[in-house]
Structure 1
Amino acid sequence: MADDKQLMAQVKQWILEAGEEVKRKLQDPLIVEQKSSRTDLVTNVDKETEAFLVEKIRSHYPADQILGEEGLGDKPETTDGRVWIIDPIDGTINFVKQRENFCIMIGIFEDGLGKLGFIYDVIKDEFVYGGSGTGVFLNGSPLKQIEDVPLSEGLVGVNGTMFVNNYMSTRNVGLASSGFRILGCAGLDFLHMFMSRQCAYVSNLAPWDFAAGMVIGHALGLRCSRLDGREADIIGERVPFVIATPSAYEEIQALVIAAG
């Protein structure tokens, strides 16, 4: 079995290859389908990118479990062993409507513990990857532990629906910050966190949306959990999720508790 650094280099190359193919396919008409609603879309590129990554994992690590958004991997019922969690195109509606502001993401866990995360903004060519055992890198340059910025002094990324409805105090969180942003792509919000562009991100996320960001966030000294403070299950359901600097995290928890 490859060590963490070898595995990191290998997966990084797979994702870069996938990104080049995604850019090429953007020159052609997309095949777009609705899943649960008109804002929940899947394209041929989502499916083909997941198939490419699953094939790479299967051919090199056949004993590993894979959880992918488009269902081309397994349906893990346990976190024993190594589990790969894939979002082939995070921000699909941005991908379809804007042709940018989307990411490829992979999180790798061993016996439930985060080992490596990868988040690649394909169009801007911003690639953050790594974990606690390897360090975290932005396009090859090491990233440092993130400054503990309080909520009032930082920007916050939020989920639009949660903000409008003030679900679990999300609007209160946004208003307590220096400003709130709605990007429609978890990967981009995670990248902003890791590059110290914002101090928190609150959204309603499935495991493939948060897995990579949670691994990298923990490695950089950030707090990550369900919005109610409980641990996020990497093979569970979609949940309200928060990642934040330690100070902002405590302030957000206080706002959530105060709202009941």
Structure 2
Amino acid sequence: MDRTVAHDPLVLLARKAAAAGAEVLSRRDESKFNTDEKSAAGDWVTDFDRAAEEAIRRTIQTTRPNDELTGEEYPSAKPVHPSGLRWSIDPLDGTTNFVRNIAYYCSSVGVCEKQADGSEVWVAGAVVAPALGVEYFAGRGLGAFKRDIRTDSLVQLTGPKPSDSKILATGFGYDPKRREFQASVLQQLLGEYVNVRRLGSAALDLCLVAEGSLDAYVEFGTQEYDWAAGALIAEEAGTPVGRPVGYPGWQYAGLVDPSVLPLPDEDA
């Protein structure tokens, strides 16, 4: 591993924070889910979501108390004297998988830096999937990496290679109208791919594109915390990435033609 990314303080903190969330998830116990629905049937949140975000926030605030925190389960934390860094936290990406004991779930932590013009640049990110035993991480300009947690082996990620048998990953929203729109666009895309996967975690979809297991990922309507870390990891692997402009919008990575990703006539 490159010494620069190994010692970058923001990469190290992103990794530590994501690992803290994943450690909570590794204690998965169905008797302690306390499952609630959020926006629609099947859009669940559990006590593990909340506990993992609390662990991630504590880890970041202990080291960097003047950074802003935004997350899925709790209101934003805005310090009195902001540092210019903002963390975007998804404590449990793939809650449905977690509840149903499907291994594709993770803790995802990304951090961006505010620029002089008011824009933000993503500078570090980490994704830890405890049931899969893997960690992904990246720093801007420092590359992207995958670590096997069980063996501590490490590989640098270089994205998908040109292929005649491309596989596309996608996801669907909980609202029926949004699903209908997403399915209609997917039908148009499928001519370029031999098959499609729906794994249930946007963060891991992006990481799998970064490692080349998937050729592309595209989804409409993801939230920032879904892609904050994974998009940087894919980008640092040399993969084209499109982040949504506003919400809702299209998130994509890999071998995707963005010109074939329309917006709905009405908000879906």
How far apart are residue 167 of structure 1 and its match? 5.4
**Could you tell me which residue of structure 1 aligns to residue 150 of structure 2?**
none
Matches within 5 A, 1:176-195: 176-195=192-211
Q: By how many angstroms is 1:146 displaced?
A: 2.1
User: Partner residue of 1:216?
Assistant: 233
Instruction: Report Cα offsets for 1:147-186 as digits up to 9, x if no partner.
Output: 4536x53100012456754557222113421211111111
Give 1:42-57 correspondences, 5 Å limit: 42-57=45-60
SS at match of 1:153: coil
Task: Find the partner of 2:159 among 146, 149, 161.
Answer: 146
After superposition, the Cα gap between the structure-2 partners of 1:170 and 1:8, relative to the gap in structure 1 and judged at 3 Å, is same
- Per-residue displacement from partner, 1:14-66 (whole Å, max 9, x unpaired)? 33233223222436431111111112111111011111111222222111111
SS for the counterpart of 1:172 is helix
The Cα of 1:117 is off from its aligned counterpart by: 1.2
Query: Structure 1 length as normaliser, TM-score?
Result: 0.82
Share of identical aligned residues, percent?
22
Q: Is the 8 A contact 2:160 2:210 kept in 1?
A: no
Aligned partners of 2:88 and 2:110 also within 8 Å:
yes
Instruction: Evaluate the alpha carbon distance shift between residue 101 and residue 146 of structure 1 in structure 2; reply closer, same or farther with a 3 A threshold.
Output: closer
Instruction: State how far apart, in whole Å, the 1-side matches of 2:42 and 2:113 are.
Output: 33
2:14 corresponds in structure 1 to 11
Give the structure 2 partner of residue 229 of structure 1: none
From 158, 166, 173, the equivalent of 2:170 is 158
1:129 aligns with 2:145: no
> How far has the Cα of 1:103 moved from its partner?
0.9
Distance 1:238-1:42 versus aligned 2 partners, 3 A rule: farther
Q: Does 1:256 align with 2:222?
A: no
Query: Match of 1:181, as an amino acid?
Result: R
In structure 2, what residue type is equivalent to 1:100? A
1:218 shift after superposition: 1.6
Higher helix share: 1
Amino acid paired to 1:195:
E
1:38 aligns with 41
Q: Cα 1:27–1:106, aligned 2, differ >3 Å: closer, same or farther?
A: same
Q: 1:81 to 1:122 in 2, by over 3 A?
A: same
Is 1:172 the counterpart of 2:184? The answer is no
Give the Cα separation in 1 of the matches to 2:248 and 2:74. Answer: 15
Superposed CA RMSD: 2.8
Write the distance in 1 (CA, Å) between the matches of 2:215 and 2:191. Answer: 13
* Alignment counterpart, residue 225 of structure 1, candidates 227, 238, 242: 242
Structure 1 partner of 2:125: 117
Unaligned runs of 5+ in 2: 115-119, 148-152
CA apart distance, 1:90:
0.2
| Residues 214 and 224 in structure 1, CA contact (< 8 A), matched pair in contact too | yes
Stretch deviating more after TM superposition (5-14 or 105-114): 5-14
Q: Unaligned 5+ residue runs, structure 1?
A: 227-231
- 1:28 to 1:13, Cα distance in 2 relative to 1, 3 A: farther
Count of residues in Structure 1 that have an aligned counterpart in Structure 2: 242
